[in-house]
Structure 1
Amino acid sequence: MHHDNFRRLGNAAFAAAAALLAVACGGGDSSDGNTNPNIKPANIGTVTIQAYDGATDDLLTAGLGKDGLASATAPVPASPNSPTAAELRRYAIYTNYRAIVDTTAGGGFGSLYGPNVDAQGNVTTGQGKIAGVEYLAFSDDGSGQENVTMLVQIPNTFNQSKPCMITATSSGSRGVYGAIAVGEWGLKRGCAVAYTDKGTGAAPHDLDTDTVPLIDGTRTTRSAAGTNAQFAARPGILSLADFTAQVPHRLAFKHAHSQRNPEKDWGKFTLQAIEFGIWAINDRFGTVASNGVRQRTLAKSKIVVIASSVSNGGGAAVAAAEQDTDGLIDGVAVAEPNLNLPPNASILVKRGSKPVNASGRLLYDYITTANLLQLCASQATALVNAPAFATNQFYISRCQTLVDNKLISGTTVSDQAASALDQLHLAGWEPESDALHPSLSLFDTAASIAVTYANSYARASVTDRLCGYSFAATLADFKPAAIAPSVLASMFATGNGVPPTSTVQLINDRDLQHGPFMNGQSVSASNNRADANFDGAKCLRDLLTGTDSQAQALQSGVSQIQRSGNLHGKPALIVHGRSDGLLPVNHTSRPYLGFNRQQEGAASKLSYIEVENAQHFDAFIGAVSGYSNRYVPLHLYLIRALDAVYDNLTTGKALPPSQVVRTIPRGGATNTTTAPTLLPVNVPPISASPDAANQIAASTGSVDVPD
């Protein structure tokens, strides 16, 4: 819906007329004025409310300010083994903000975006601290097992005459502050921000000590936590105690091991966060009836709500908009969303009028493909100047195993790696993603995601060790070890919910040569070759088409997370980097544009903005040598997308049409972290009238993206 002045006037006039009619008929308010009580949603448990003064502590930077977020010195707890909830919150905001954006001055932080850049894009001399209150609670289905974290931030600048709210569902598998950098846009505009961890989270259940995280990140024993645990693993065939006795030092993570396939409910959880936000806004600003009951003064119809976030959080925002039957969401603005289309969507994606090699595949399909091929492809001669390129014997061995299994061809390493890279192209990766394969291989990205999602979709227990994988801390010998107490105590703040994270690694439990061993260094049992666990990668891939009980369970889970494509005519902008090597545009945003047109036809108000020289991990731009030379921040375009959707909803300004934005890399010496400073000319605005050569055409079932 459009919240324009005419609409507001109409609502006000209708309300006034209704009130007069009620008086004339002798009805109307009860004697105590308690006509519309602000009732807390039934799924929301105990609520904790905390105010922040905007000086010593605040909503956006936890008191660190712009300079503190940019500092390489983390705000570690004073007593690392027993951090306080306040220390964990500060540390979590610091870590998660820096995980989403590039916080280097050369990359635009502090000049083009960041806490000190106001809502109009003006650079201020302040630190960007924002005073306000936080409402924190679990959403649960009554079992005590769901316990999805909900958080609402309401800045002191919230404007009751122009109320607004955005969502910032966590990215990746992170905790509730996982999209704090997205929430920044709303806080600066005086909007409330509704966050949720969407049933994932960074802090694990440590099976050695049987300790679990609480909602604020502090830890206690599973028995003491009871139903207040943010996550406590459930047993499979073995009890947790028996499993730990046989397989010590393992950790369970909520996304992988909750046995609930939380992704199927990411849209629902985002909608619940909005409902919690509406309640919190009225708890703070609603009038109080004469009997002391707080009223719902600011109804949803008065609040502009934009669903937003990035990556998995962006996918959750889209899912919420599709599932919104109560008119909670007015518009959508997301970046690099994880979008899974039904296999039978049959969307034709073209680039430069030529059909792409593959498109619209499910994440589990393409991530298990990457998990097989990417390590070998990273050794291609064409990539020797790519960021993080290094000759790796494990990856070279993977090449030979792929040849032996007839997945690639070639007799030399160079030929084999080139063949693997070609196979990635045939599987839908664009050539612009090529330079990312070495760094994504280094971080074991495809393996960690494939294992996490396989467990989640199959609803596997941590004790099942699906395909022979587990999660554990390792030492210099690459073998599982007890996690250090100080590391475990802060994982709510430092973790990302998937390995590798905070010394926790992916473990190959089927390495017969070493015993349980770090995945990337391990030996496949089938060939006794140190090929970074090809056996495990193939097992994960086979679950997609297999017929055994685990494969069928996974396939059932995959069927529950697919998008409908129907945004119900909501104004929406998706921005995505053409170079994205994790969630390739051919499998996500490009086909979704066509799928949406297929479902909504002329009623669609979705525009897709594809940004050249942008990729999935802005944080790597200032952290990994070579990224700053090549890539521009996609986050800046999410800010612009939010601006555009907000303007459309509040003033009626037209959304920009679908287009490719031609950015200019910073350049400079190859593979350094000291590229020339990012300037406005490097990141041109989204055009209201793009040139014909930049226009993306979408029709029912078809998308054509210019070269």
Structure 2
Amino acid sequence: MTDAFDPVRITDHRGADDLLSAGLGLRKLSGGLSAFVNPLAPTPAELRRRAIQSSWRGIADLGPLGGFGSVYGAVPDVPGREFTAFAWLPGARQPHRVLAQVPDAFDREKRCLVVSASSGSRGIYGAIGLAGAWGLPRGCAVAYTDKGTGAGYFDTADRTGVALDGMRVRAGEAALEFEPTGAPTDAGIATKHAHSGDHPEADWGRHVLQAARFGLAMLDRAFPEEAPFTPQNTRIIATGISNGGGAVLRAAGDDVDGILSAVVALEPNIHVPGHGRPFYDYATEAAVLLPAALAAPDFDGVPFARAGVVMPPAWALRGAALGAHGRLRGFTPQAQASEALAMLRASGWRDEALKVAASSAALDLWRSVSVAYASSYLRRGPGDMPCGFSYRVQHPAGVATPADAMLRVAWWADGSGVPPHAGITLMGGTDLSLDPTLAGCLCLRDLWTGSGADAVAVGEAVAATSAALPREGLPVFVVHGTEDGLIPVAFSSEPYVDWLRASGRSPVFWNVPHAQHFDAFLAFPDFGDRHVPLLPFGYAALDRAWEHLATGRALPEDALVRDAQPRGPGVLTARTLGLPPG
């Protein structure tokens, strides 16, 4: 396939501005948000620094108890160059952003390219804490894709979006990361994941493979005297976490040209028809039922399920509202809670996942992410989102203020890709009842369980995200926490690995006790005490994959990582972490 990457923005990063942390180092990455000299007009360098910091903090526990930098991981200074472009898949309406980081200490004898996709719906640096942290200090180049997501938000009111350098500009002044077609001026905020019209999730594997080709092309530019860099002379390892993990597994199935040398996926959002459950199915189910189930005594003492020892009234209100809608038959709060919990268990939820999933219910993640996915699946624009939802800028007293302007210019650096956040609120999908968000949740759920035209379209869109079988002999590592409450292992990695084996493949599967989905959540009191981080197991799997490729060392065996223990109230130790022996 011939790719056109033009224009390419090339920047140098040395001294106080390196590739891995933009000069912040571990201490400042974990500190307060990197400031802008002029909060209303940050420079591209300031936006990049803030984006890197936000991305690190989004997937890693950098707190004083987490052990990063002492028990595992490091943030050394890595000077080098960055190459950035907008890349287009054939037929796409919108580009995906690609980035290649080439360290000055690139190992020309053992050519290595790590390729990754952002976690969640994050922007281009969304996997730097995994792919960059592992690859750059080893002399590997690292290529990233935002896989058609990210925080290149478009404001339909003032027609501004995000240029290649991260700056906000008006449409027509520069090429934009995302510009929706035909959006009216009163449609609010448009996001690339929800409103591109491309259904980017269907192309996540192709995004990763195109990013790998971009990385090779940029190595040709960086070292023209040693070009060409090809899959035949450069080892290419694909790695990702969460949605990024699903993207690299999808790339493994789409890789008909044999580009990839190995794949390491952490807690991947992955499914195969007839094996496990797709994310939209169990996310919308959790959005409806889990709040009601959390009123059950099974969740007493569970972080986020209780405010101290007090049960939030929202849980019982959800049970009563579901009863009024005929979705539950019980008449008392306890009967309704028990019934909702039984329904979740019957559909495959395990108790260890449900207890951690309480955090996503308390933070309203199930509803917010389901909205974005539904809009993407139906290829809706910002003014036509399903179930009456929209993204709007929330102005105090209904007027714009300087604070709004300061938030707006930082969206690309601070945004997660899925509102609400940073002054953008999720509007609509509510009614005037005591449980106002249930109406929207039921509507989103009916897009999966119903039989109307929109439900059929959602089903077809989800089917388009199914994984294909990787080529025989490709080393594939899957690393997942047993207590993942956002992408439960029972719905994703376990059935995917079983399918691979039934199809004659030999993946390595590490199932990590006490690990859950969000390492960044381990900084929460009480919550972090009960878990271990997953990221160090990803680094260890990458080490094993590299040793296999570079030295021919046999692939490790599967492991239920028996030595891992909850961190407890103190600092994480190597003994508590219990990494598999090297």
Establish whether TM, by shorter chain, passes 0.5: yes
Verify the 8 A CA contact 2:482 2:489 in the aligned structure 1. Answer: yes
- The aligned counterpart of 1:614 is 515
- The aligned counterpart of 1:290 is none
- The aligned counterpart of 1:215 is 164
Is 1:402 the counterpart of 2:402? The answer is no
* Aligned partner (choices 248, 251, 263) of residue 189 of structure 2: 251
Instruction: Report the secondary structure of 1:621's partner residue.
Output: helix
* Aligned partner (choices 277, 280, 289) of residue 364 of structure 1: 280
Cα 1:551/1:480, change in 2 over 3 Å: farther
Q: Distance in 1 between matches of 2:400 and 2:558?
A: 51
- The aligned counterpart of 2:204 is 266
Cα 1:416/1:195, change in 2 over 3 Å: same
- The aligned counterpart of 1:309 is 240
Q: Distance in 2 between matches of 1:168 and 1:545?
A: 33
Q: 1:328: how far off?
A: 0.9
Q: Distance in 1 between matches of 2:482 and 2:566?
A: 17
- The aligned counterpart of 2:222 is 284
Instruction: Report the secondary structure of 1:259's partner residue.
Output: coil
Cα 1:490/1:318, change in 2 over 3 Å: same
Verify the 8 A CA contact 1:428 1:584 in the aligned structure 2. Answer: no
- The aligned counterpart of 2:29 is 69
Within 5 Å, which residues of 2 pair with 1:476-495? 484-495=404-415
Cα 1:552/1:410, change in 2 over 3 Å: closer
For 2:127, give the aligned amino acid: A
Q: Distance in 2 between matches of 1:545 and 1:615?
A: 28
Q: 1:567: how far off?
A: 4.1
Q: 1:364: how far off?
A: 1.2
Instruction: Report the secondary structure of 1:105's partner residue.
Output: coil
Q: 1:465: how far off?
A: 2.5
Within 5 Å, which residues of 2 pair with 1:255-654? 255-287=193-225, 296-342=227-273, 345=274, 347=275, 360-388=276-304, 389-390=306-307, 391-474=311-394, 484-508=404-428, 511=431, 523=432, 529-599=433-503, 601=504, 604-622=505-523, 624-654=524-554
Within 5 Å, which residues of 2 pair with 1:30-49? 41-49=2-10
Q: Distance in 1 between matches of 2:470 and 2:90?
A: 30
Verify the 8 A CA contact 2:512 2:564 in the aligned structure 1. Answer: no
Runs (5+) with no aligned partner, structure 1? 1-39, 117-127, 288-294, 348-359, 512-522, 524-528, 669-674, 689-707
Q: Distance in 2 between matches of 1:465 and 1:652?
A: 51
Cα 1:647/1:554, change in 2 over 3 Å: same
- The aligned counterpart of 1:78 is 37
Q: Distance in 1 between matches of 2:256 and 2:498?
A: 23
Query: Deviation digits for residues 432-484 of structure 1, max 9, x if unmatched?
Result: 1233233211211110111111111111111113111111243679x998881
Q: Distance in 2 between matches of 1:608 and 1:667?
A: 23
Instruction: Report the secondary structure of 1:484's partner residue.
Output: helix
Query: Deviation digits for residues 550-602 of structure 1, max 9, x if unmatched?
Result: 22322221121111233432011100001011101111000001111222x1x
- The aligned counterpart of 1:24 is none
Q: 1:629: how far off?
A: 0.8
Q: 1:41: how far off?
A: 4.9
Q: Distance in 2 between matches of 1:667 and 1:364?
A: 32
Verify the 8 A CA contact 1:59 1:132 in the aligned structure 2. Answer: yes
Q: Distance in 1 between matches of 2:327 and 2:164?
A: 46
Within 5 Å, which residues of 2 pair with 1:217-232? 217-225=166-174, 228-232=175-179
Q: Which runs of 4+ in 1 moved over 6 A?
A: 479-483
Verify the 8 A CA contact 1:387 1:438 in the aligned structure 2. Answer: yes
Q: Distance in 2 between matches of 1:130 and 1:667?
A: 30
**Structure with greater Cα Rg:** 1
Verify the 8 A CA contact 2:287 2:367 in the aligned structure 1. Answer: yes
Verify the 8 A CA contact 2:255 2:470 in the aligned structure 1. Answer: no
Q: What is the root-mean-square deviation in Å for CA atoms of aligned residues? A: 2.1
Verify the 8 A CA contact 1:138 1:150 in the aligned structure 2. Answer: yes
Verify the 8 A CA contact 2:563 2:579 in the aligned structure 1. Answer: no
* Aligned partner (choices 566, 578, 582) of residue 684 of structure 1: 578
Instruction: Report the secondary structure of 2:68's partner residue.
Output: coil
Verify the 8 A CA contact 2:294 2:358 in the aligned structure 1. Answer: yes
Query: Deviation digits for residues 2-22 of structure 1, max 9, x if unmatched?
Result: xxxxxxxxxxxxxxxxxxxxx
Verify the 8 A CA contact 1:134 1:152 in the aligned structure 2. Answer: yes
For 2:119, give the aligned amino acid: S
Instruction: Report the secondary structure of 1:460's partner residue.
Output: coil
Verify the 8 A CA contact 2:532 2:567 in the aligned structure 1. Answer: no
- The aligned counterpart of 1:56 is 16
Within 5 Å, which residues of 2 pair with 1:136-285? 136-141=84-89, 145-182=93-130, 183-225=132-174, 228-235=175-182, 240-241=184-185, 244=186, 250-285=188-223
Instruction: Report the secondary structure of 1:574's partner residue.
Output: strand
Instruction: Report the secondary structure of 1:579's partner residue.
Output: coil
Q: 1:176: how far off?
A: 0.4
For 1:332, give the aligned amino acid: V
- The aligned counterpart of 2:556 is 656
Q: 1:240: how far off?
A: 0.7
Aligned length: 576
Q: Distance in 1 between matches of 2:517 and 2:430?
A: 32
- Alignment TM-score, normalising by the size of structure 1: 0.78
Is 1:88 the counterpart of 2:47? The answer is yes
Q: Distance in 2 between matches of 1:198 and 1:562?
A: 16
Q: Percent identity?
A: 36
Query: Deviation digits for residues 321-357 of structure 1, max 9, x if unmatched?
Result: 1111112101011100010211xx3x5xxxxxxxxxx
Within 5 Å, which residues of 2 pair with 1:10-21? none
Q: Distance in 2 between matches of 1:271 and 1:480?
A: 45
Q: Distance in 1 between matches of 2:271 and 2:19?
A: 33
Query: Deviation digits for residues 474-530 of structure 1, max 9, x if unmatched?
Result: 3679x998881111110111110112222322212553xxxxxxxxxxx3xxxxx22
Query: Deviation digits for residues 381-439 of structure 1, max 9, x if unmatched?
Result: 22231222233333322111222334334333233223322222222222112332332
Q: 1:83: how far off?
A: 1.1
For 2:531, give the aligned amino acid: Y
Q: 1:141: how far off?
A: 4.4
- Alignment TM-score, normalising by the size of structure 2: 0.94
Instruction: Report the secondary structure of 1:558's partner residue.
Output: helix
